[in-house]
Amino acid sequence: LWCTFELGAFLKDSGREKPVEFLPVSVAFQLLLQWAFMTLLCLAVQVSLYIEEAADAEHSSDAALLFFFVWVLPAGLGILPVLLHYGLQHLEDVQQLGEQLANFSVRDAGCTCCTVDHCDPPTGNQLLCDRELIFRTLKRWYRNSALDSGEKDHHLDRFDALVRERLSSSVLPLVGAGAPPARYRMALYLPLLTAMFPHYLHLGRVRLRGWGLVQWLMAYGAFAATALFFFWLCFFCCRWSVKKIRKAVPRWVVIPAVQSLVLLLPIAFWLPYRAVLQRTGSSLAAGLVLSCMWLILLCLSSTLQLLACWRSQGPLSQTAARCRAPPFFLRVGCTR
Ligand SMILES: [Zn+2]
């Protein structure tokens, strides 16, 4: 009740609009888990490269590979299921949001004080009823139009209409398909990759594995592409499973299946690059594979954006207009 009231308060007075950011709490937790996973992965890559550099040439690759999997496996088995669980939960909530807003009724909205019968559980003190306070405020807001209509609960109906129409049309495009905003994902992804860049430069300088600076910069590009592919895959697999098999398959089956996909497919995405470089030793051939990796990411990103716009807006004439709208900000009224 309070959340809807607060958002409704911002929308009440049109004209004095200021941007307000809309971020569901569960998205913040997902971002934290993604950060933990990526940090562990980047550390694993850096330490395994360090071990490879420090060990004797004959066994260095084996030692580094062993270390990498000993480190990455706990991240994959420990953090990833939690991330997927909360990701799936969030996407399910987002799917229900449209329906909840379309049928919103302030009379039926849940309120903590009413659920505990207006008695603070730890202390036993009596609590004021938030519902009564909010209803009184709504009555004050819509005093003039209530006098015109003559209906007793006109203020409640007006607020319901505000939530169903204006709040719904403002919030749903922002929540979109349920993915965390791109600039937050980039804020996690870019610092981690930037921190790894000097290490790859150093490896190019000391010519580890006999690779020069160009090969190590390409290896860096391949790692960055694979990490981006992993992010995209996590979201896509969760969304697909929520849309297609949520009701038919229990979550304890979905999570291990999605987990296997998001761990194995990025390896399959990266392996051709490594195989070509190892087999041919040619920077040109490896560079071509690397270009294909980034091209695939570009195509995936553009296709999904177009599909998302098409599905949410319908005809192409409307799509272009809506796609230009600021994606992460909600235009709302500023109230005191
Ligand atoms: Zn109450």
5 CA distance to ligand 1 middle (Å): 14
What pLDDT was estimated at residue 257? 87
Closest by CA to 189, choosing from 158, 154, 232, is: 232
Who wins on pLDDT, 234 or 229?
A: 229
Angle between helices 154-162 and 2-12 (to 10 degrees): 80
* pLDDT given for residue 273 in this prediction: 92
105-147 per-position pLDDT tens digit: 888 888 888 889 999 888 989 999 988 888 998 888 888 776 6
CA angle 11-170-22, nearest 5°?
90
- The environment of the single-atom ion ligand 1, i.e. residues with CB closer than 5 A, is 113-114, 129, 131
CB 212 within 8 A of CB 137: no
pLDDT value at residue 28: 81
Q: What are 168-219's pLDDT values in tens digits? A: 777 777 776 667 777 787 887 888 788 888 888 888 888 877 788 888 899 9
Convert the pLDDT of each residue in 32-68 to its tens digit.
Answer: 888 888 787 788 777 877 777 777 666 666 666 776 6
Please tell me the predicted confidence (pLDDT) of residue 14.
63
- Residue 145 Cα to ligand 1 middle (Å): 26
C-alpha 179/C-alpha 46 separation (Å) is 29
Q: Residue 310 Cα, ligand 1 centroid: separation in angstroms? A: 43
Average pLDDT over residues 282-303: 91
% of the chain at pLDDT higher than 70: 81
The whole-number pLDDT of residue 329 equals 33
Residue 27 and residue 86 in contact, taking contact as beta carbons nearer than 8 Å: no
- Model confidence at 319, pLDDT cuts 50, 70, 90, reads very low
User: What pLDDT was estimated at residue 268?
Assistant: 92
Contact 11, 170 (CB under 8 A): yes
Q: What pLDDT is recorded for position 325?
A: 37
Query: Does position 81 have pLDDT exceeding 50, yes or no?
Result: yes
In angstroms, the CA 5 to CA 13 distance is 13
Torsion of CA 199, 204, 208, 209, to 10 degrees: 120
Predicted confidence at residue 103, as pLDDT, reads 87
Distance 131 CA to ligand 1 centre (A): 5
Look at residue 218 in the predicted model and tell me its pLDDT: 92
The better pLDDT of the pair 265, 193 is held by: 265
What mean pLDDT is reported for the chain?
78
pLDDT score recorded for residue 64: 66
Average pLDDT over residues 25-30: 79
pLDDT at 17: 58
- Tell me what pLDDT residue 25 has: 76
Domain spans, the chain: 2-333
Please answer whether residues 231 and 184 qualify as being in contact, where contact means their C-beta atoms are separated by less than 8 angstroms: no
Question: What band does 15 get if pLDDT is binned at 50, 70 and 90?
Answer: low
Q: Give me ligand 1 centre to Cα 134, in Å.
A: 10
Q: Tens of pLDDT along 89-100? A: 888 888 788 888
Output the CA 117–ligand 1 centroid distance in Å: 7
| Per-residue pLDDT at 283 | 85
What's the 124 CA to ligand 1 centre distance in angstroms?
15
Q: How far is the CA of 95 from the centre of ligand 1 (A)?
A: 28
